[in-house]
Amino acid sequence: MKVFVYNTTQEASEKAYDVFENAYNNGANVFGLATGSTPEGLYSEIIKSDIDLSNCISINLDEYYGLDKNHPQSYNYYMYDNLFKHKPFKKSYVPNGMNKDAEDEVRKYNQIIDEHPIDFQLLGIGVNGHIGFNEPGTPFELRTHLVELTPSTVEVNSRFFDSIDEVPNQAYSMGIADIMAAKEVLLMAFGEAKAEAIKALIEGEVSEDVPVTCLKNHTNVTVILDQGSASLLSK
């Protein structure tokens, strides 16, 4: 695992762009993408660059169950607004939160991943160590599934909604098995709220209690941190 710590999120985002561009230059064509505030700086760098993604495929990690793609807090909308409208891919996949038939949505999404094996997977991290929406306790062998969000995740993510009652308590998420199958992983984490989860990733044991620790078993992972998320590391 390669770990980089930066003083500012801007420097960290520029480094993340270098890692992304390097993967692209080495032939990566299918990009697993993430939402949240953390990758916004990377997406700005991608938009500013002259990289051409029009022959590439993107597959997003997750989507809230019950949110339409035009809902401002949906991850479909986030991706359109933060990246796709500026830098289109050949084809972009995000789970359909409006598909109430979970079995159908899961089958379709797993088929998309099977048809486009992920070369490069971008990850943020939840305060409780979740990746995508794989909450603590999720078996590592699971693929895409409908998740019951923990009360703490609903609360943390309520900052983007008008009230906590509007936050969906379920989501579709790629599974840990899908994330681990990616050839390369880039994880970004900013802020002290992520420090415990980052300490578990870098200094702890592999445990389903802290989903991100699965990455200790992946052979090609880059971790980009700021001082806050790195603040509990012993060296």
* Interface ranges with ligand GLP (CB under 6 A): 34-38, 61-62, 124-126, 132-133, 153, 157
Which position among 135, 178, 184, 226 bears the catalytic label? Answer: 135
Compute the distance between CA of residue 131 and CA of residue 62 in angstroms, rounded to an integer.
Answer: 10
Which is closer to ligand GLP, CB of 119 or CB of 168? Answer: 168
- Our CB check for ligand GLP shows the closer of 53 and 187 to be 187
Phi, psi of 227 (to 5 degrees): -60, -35
Catalytic pick among 130, 134, 145, 184:
130
Q: What one-character DSSP code corresponds to residue 143? A: -
Picking from 222, 228, 190, 220, the residue whose alpha carbon sits closest to that of residue 17 is: 222
Of the two residues 167 and 235, which places its CB atom closer to ligand GLP in the complex? 167
Nearest approach, Cβ of 34 to ligand GLP (angstroms)? 5
> Does the annotation count 96 as an active-site position?
no
Is residue 130 flagged as an active site residue? yes
Min CB(55)–ligand GLP separation in Å: 26
The DSSP call for residue 204 is S
**CA 176 remoteness from chain centre:** 11
Alpha carbons within 13 angstroms on the beta-carbon side of residue 51 total: 27
Whichever of 54 and 60 has its CB closer to ligand GLP, that residue is 60
| From 128, 134, 184, 226, active-site residue | 128
Give catalytic status of residue 101 as yes or no. Answer: no
Q: What pairs with residue 121 in β-bridges? A: 32, 185
Q: Tell me which residues are annotated as active site.
A: 62, 128, 130, 135
